[in-house]
Structure 1
């Protein structure tokens, strides 16, 4: 029997029994209310084209989109769409891989807000006197700032997209001391075909470097005198009502600010809403608005089609014929938290399509062709 028919029959039965409020179109049901702080809304009553959600569910049912585990949509602070797929549910802790880097940016900001780090211009090597002298000594390394790490534009020879790079993350993982590995990296050279920082947009030559995000997290640990997971719980997670989370650590116990944290989908949406509302959750300031402005400002050009803030990506997506900026937490497998300020919109897509070429394109397609096209 057709899956959509079964869903329709179930919805009709629930409506007849008085268990749910009838909705305007299709098989759409509003998200269930919970005690996690989220308000919920009825997208059908708010004039969304909920047939787009139905079409998306058809694509997931026939495996056109593979490995997707959840899609959530928040508009004007209310959760209006929430569905789980491929055996997942609302309790699932999603391994969001490199989307974790954006959480590290939040934690740097929280430490700055508390006066524990002076600013994003703080010198990185000064936090690690016990790790010096380092290999490949260079005055430019000693001048390296947190902002260099947050914008993926340090002068370390570190490129996760180049298997031959000295700083490729896979090389870091097979060493015991990840921090020493990163601090010892040589200064990169710029071949004739490479764009130097002075000639790059925003004066920064972007190079994706997980080791840099890891070191940024290590700076937070040194500045706060506590594990990254403990500071995250105090400064970010508990104020947001996030009670279930998993953090990884390096072999020597330093929090892994570069990837692999695990959050529930609704809690990921909270991180998006926090960015959308200037660092506030339910009217309470969690991280300063000044930090959010800095974090969500373009500081480097990552690719022809993407810019970069402080460990957040910026893309452009079409809405009703106009390309609009969208900030995003992004991780391997196609894990995303999309934030579109112009529409007061947050969308979460979680996925287990790790290391698959189609992972990122399909998650972005879901956001572009189904979430955005459903907007009222």
Structure 2
């Protein structure tokens, strides 16, 4: 059966769960075009059959049965999805090292923090040269992204700049100047000084206790639209002058999506769908609504692993897509630069992470989107290399440290 393409994101869960579960169980028991993890497969990658928009959600993803055995190929197929295929080895990369890593990923583990990887893909010099799926991983099923959603939100704002709805100078403009439905007179001291640049680097200075947040969420009607940001800025502790300390929190991406919604024609949801994702050939995705009614910017999206590769390529191509400037190069550079000290050796740009892993005495730049459970887009500009990993681990697992080192070794030896 040919899977139906998912063309419209849906934030509404389907009440009809049993047919979906039955279809998944039938799929799990049917023969798969895969191979044992020690071998490379040239067959068709596993997919969910008869896929519909209502079947994609974080809850539904948990119902997907594990693959009987992994699917691994060093020669990905051309799916006419905007991704150029290549071959691991002939087009670059140490095939033996990558297959060893894939074997390691495929092994069972009793540790909930590791051993639950769902996909692993590699793009080198603009070509997808390795593709693999494990456990719940499916080529056509959008995987929950967790906090990489923040990174996508930043790039949606960058797309708005490219189209003239904002300027690069607006990044240093107080956000309340865009949020006309808020009331600055009731906000705490310093709230009128928070800029987009500060919000996207997690340095807004907003501080609310969990008790206060719980209380605010008990009256959701007041948090609709820009009421969400009004609540943040009215009930926060006073905002200190810049520079402010880094704090990883949901308020800052919420500010960003609210500004996007305020400046683009129509809504942020429609803009993301038609002017951002569709232009990159991304139609099979899901993005939850936040309590505000806007797309949930902190951790609410699901994307195919192959489409995650596209975001990595967008970074390496300095914001160009299909040869055209899609996001301003200056914005992409800022977004993926170490603008804020997060913790340890981890730095932060506009909702993107930057580290410098060291191999054989040399440090390499690693730009990344990260999501809890083990969701990663690793980008290595010096190597023209992108690696994507999805999983359902607890926390970040070991991939955050292990994968960059293994990728660097496989493409420098």
TM-score (norm 2): 0.75
Q: Which runs of 5+ in 1 are unaligned?
A: 15-26, 159-163, 191-195, 198-202
Q: Which runs of 4+ in 1 moved over 4 A?
A: 4-14, 133-136, 164-168, 170-175
Q: How far apart are 1:5 and its partner, in Å?
A: 8.6
CA change 1:167–1:108 in 2 (3 A) is: farther
Corresponding residue for 1:247? 287
Corresponding residue for 2:369? 329
Q: Structure 2 CA distance, aligned partners of 1:251 and 1:292?
A: 29
Corresponding residue for 2:202? 152
1:184-199 alignment, distance < 5 Å: 184-187=234-237
Q: How far apart are 1:235 and its partner, in Å?
A: 2.7
1:229 matches 2:280: no
1:68-217 alignment, distance < 5 Å: 68-118=117-167, 119-133=170-184, 135-138=186-189, 140-157=190-207, 164=209, 176=220, 177=223, 178-187=228-237, 203-217=243-257
Q: Structure 1 CA distance, aligned partners of 2:127 and 2:80?
A: 14
Q: Structure 2 CA distance, aligned partners of 1:43 and 1:327?
A: 22
Q: Deviations over 1:155-194 (max 9, x none)?
A: 2115xxxxx55787x777665213333232423588xxxx
CA change 1:31–1:258 in 2 (3 A) is: same
Aligned partner of residue 81 in structure 1, secondary structure:
strand
1:364 matches 2:413: no
CA change 1:153–1:58 in 2 (3 A) is: same
Paired residue total: 340
Q: Structure 1 CA distance, aligned partners of 2:389 and 2:39?
A: 27
CA contact (8 A) 2:161 2:327 kept: no
Q: How far apart are 1:366 and its partner, in Å?
A: 4.3
Q: Structure 2 CA distance, aligned partners of 1:135 and 1:266?
A: 46
Q: Which runs of 5+ in 2 are unaligned?
A: 1-33, 45-71
Q: Structure 2 CA distance, aligned partners of 1:304 and 1:250?
A: 31
1:345 matches 2:385: yes
Q: Could you tell which deviates more after superposition, 178-187 or 70-79?
A: 178-187
Q: Structure 2 CA distance, aligned partners of 1:143 and 1:46?
A: 50
